[in-house]
Structure 1
Amino acid sequence: MKILLSNDDGFQAPGLLALYEALRDLGEVEVVAPEHNNSAKSNALTLHSPLYVHRAANGFRYVNGTPADCVHVALTGLLGEMPDLVVSGINNGANMGDDTIYSGTVGAAMEGYLFGVPAIAFSLVHKGWAHLDDAARKARELVQHLVAQRALGAAPWLLNVNIPNRPHAEIGPFEVCRLGRRHAAERVIPQTSPHGETMYWIGGAGAAKDDAPGTDFHATARGHVAVTPLQIDLTDHEALASWAPRVPPAQP
């Protein structure tokens, strides 16, 4: 089995190192990750400047670009052949609910999915790397189970997985669930630059708005590992018919 491993916290992030150690004996694991932290870069690709690939002392390759850049470059020329699985993470903090839209961790996995490769994005629920090795063990368990279920040979799929920061024995079962929702983000934080100009910092994420049973928020709050299958189609299919009469009619 060939696994492409990436992340958005950078190639030196503890989460990437832990995930590599957890998966390295399951197959041939190639690491292509960003040179620096690229959190909240979503699916962004770098189109107007060149990308460079370097190899670190530990064998990891890193790119001066986004998480999606890393997977894109790997799948379209850097690797000799397509991997069987793309794995992204382990992220330093949750990617639940609306966070998935912005997440570079999910963006890296999604890039693999767009190329027809099954993909998983792993995140810790809380920042700070507490119980990281335990989370890596749970990530390995899921990958091993999917391999045993022959899930890698089927049509491509994309999973978003959030693991509670708990000792392994205290982590609950895997729970397949939908994304919850958050309240609107907090207000921007204005500051004055050394040159007297007003600058702004993006505020923190809002609190959970929809954390009902069946959501990722609800699952992780109970200590379970939240597993959410994602799709790419953003079409509001139920609204297609209602929008048809609202657009300008065809000209005679």
Structure 2
Amino acid sequence: MQILLTNDDGIYAPGIASLKHYIQDLGTVTVVAPDIEQSGVGHSITFNQPLRIRKVHMNNEFIGYGVNGSPADCVKLAVNEIMREKPDIVISGLNMGANVGIHILYSGTVAAAVEATVMGFSSIAVSFEITEHYDDIHRTADVAKGIIQRILSHNLPKNLLLNVNIPAIPPDQIKGIKITHQFTQDFKEVFQKRIDPSGRAYYWLTGADKSKYHEEGTDLSALRDGYISITPLRYDRTDYQHHKIIEGWDWQ
């Protein structure tokens, strides 16, 4: 099995290294990831400057290919220029931080998986809701491997994208797996105003307190309740319900 592994935290991130370690016995793993962190870049692509690919080594060991572009760029280049064989599955992760709710729209991790489905491949985005109370990336990567194995045991259709989020608790405390839908309310994120040394104001996005939000059946509530969340996603954003309504308006 040919596995393309990518992320948005960058090729040196501990998440991608740990996940590679655990899934390398599932097939041939090719790592293609951004040179530097690309969190929050969404589904951006590079077209106004050259993209470069370089072989990356750590401790004298080849770990993969670094790209001076976005996660979506990495998938494009991996499939078209780097991999000799097309991937059977594209895995994006292990991301440091959950990708649930509206954050799915901003996530480079999810965007890489979306790009794979656009190109006709099945994909899995895997994220870890890391917190100050629990941050064991290695044990979580082992959990992620088990989920990936279970997913791969099925005959995956092309263009299938599964967004997996693992709660920030030890594996023996995880209650199970829930198939969820995306939480769609606004998190009402907060900006902190600060003053730089020259006296000018600047703003820092400090996130939001997600604990006050609850909607049964969503990715967000599953994580809060101690479950692994798996959400099937699609890149077709057409609102079919309103499409029919608007089609009936007077357009003459």
Cα drift, residue 138 of structure 1:
1.8
What residue in structure 2 maps to residue 42 of structure 1? Answer: 42
- SS in structure 2 opposite 1:161? strand
Equivalent pair of 2:180/2:230 in contact (CA under 8 Å): yes
Equivalent pair of 1:96/1:179 in contact (CA under 8 Å): yes
Distance 2:22 2:227 in 1: 20
Question: Are the structure 2 counterparts of residues 68 and 209 from structure 1 closer, same or farther at C-alpha, using a change threshold of 3 Å?
Answer: farther
TM-score normalized with structure 1 length: 0.90
What residue in structure 1 maps to residue 139 of structure 2? Answer: 134
Task: State whether structure 2 residue 220 is matched by structure 1 residue 220.
Answer: no
Equivalent pair of 2:190/2:208 in contact (CA under 8 Å): no
What residue in structure 2 maps to residue 185 of structure 1? Answer: 188
Cα drift, residue 27 of structure 1:
0.4
Deviations 1:17-45 (A, max 9, x none): 11101111110000000111110111100
- The one-letter amino acid paired with 2:164 is V
- The one-letter amino acid paired with 1:79 is M
Distance 2:43 2:211 in 1: 24
- The one-letter amino acid paired with 2:20 is Y
Task: State whether structure 2 residue 55 is matched by structure 1 residue 55.
Answer: yes
Deviations 1:52-96 (A, max 9, x none): 111111321111111111111111222112100000111111100
Structure with more of its chain in strand, by fraction: 2
Deviations 1:156-182 (A, max 9, x none): 300100001222222221211111134
In structure 1, the gaps of 5 or more residues are: none
The 5-angstrom pairing of residues 122-201 of structure 1 reads: 122-127=126-131, 130-151=135-156, 154-193=157-196, 197-201=200-204
- SS in structure 1 opposite 2:149? helix
In structure 2, the gaps of 5 or more residues are: none
What residue in structure 2 maps to residue 10 of structure 1? Answer: 10
Equivalent pair of 1:91/1:122 in contact (CA under 8 Å): yes
- The one-letter amino acid paired with 1:55 is K
- SS in structure 1 opposite 2:162? strand
Distance 1:138 1:28 in 2: 20
TM-score normalized with structure 2 length: 0.90
Tell me how large the CA RMSD over aligned residues is: 2.0
The 5-angstrom pairing of residues 26-105 of structure 1 reads: 26-57=26-57, 58-59=61-62, 60-105=64-109
Query: Quick one: percent identity of the two aligned structures?
Result: 35
